[in-house]
Amino acid sequence: MSLSPSVLARLRYQHQTIGELIGDLPEEVLRRRVNPDKWSALENITHLAAYQPVFIRRLERIQEEDSPFFDRYVAEQDPLFSSYVEKTLPELLQDIGKQRALINAKLEGMSDAQLDRKGLHARYGLFAVSQWTEFFLLHEAHHLYTIFMIVQELRKALR
């Protein structure tokens, strides 16, 4: 099954929403936690940047193995996430753009048979690559919404 026009459009452009959401807020403001128990806007951006290489590796394993198993991703257990926390906002945004280009090239270059290959998610079961891609985009959209809400709180506090 090929990727729908909706999926392809979101793959190409959805990540660009980050810049639109944060606008001109300085990085030091984006690092502030609105809720001490929840990630800051910048930590959410860091998570999106660190997860993309994980997704790429999952796509590769699905092509190389028969129905590989994937545990639930936990950012705090990912060494890449820990290293990405040290990156600046421009570095994170640049990395997101580069990694997304890789994801797009991989997915757009897959045949229908490759898109139909499956991987097993620990919680949600067996997904074809096309479903993994939708899952990836919805996960990203969730964090974009979270960033939007945090930014609104930050702007309110700055008034």
Average of per-residue pLDDT across 115-138 = 97
Q: Which amino acid is at 50?
A: A
Annotation: CATH topology of 5-158: Four Helix Bundle (Hemerythrin (Met), subunit A) (1.20.120)
H or E segment and range at residue 121: strand 118-121
- To the question of pTM greater than 0.85 for the whole model, the response is yes
Per residue in 4-20, pLDDT (tens digit) is 999 999 999 999 999 99
Residue tagged 């753009």 (tokens): 97
pLDDT in tens, 10-63: 999 999 999 999 999 999 999 999 999 999 999 999 999 999 999 999 999 999
How many whole angstroms separate alpha carbon 157 and alpha carbon 34?
Answer: 9
- Token representation of residue 17: 């929403």
pLDDT band at 1 (very low <50, low <70, confident <90, very high): confident
The burial class, CB within 10 Å (0-12 / 13-18 / 19+), for 148 is middle
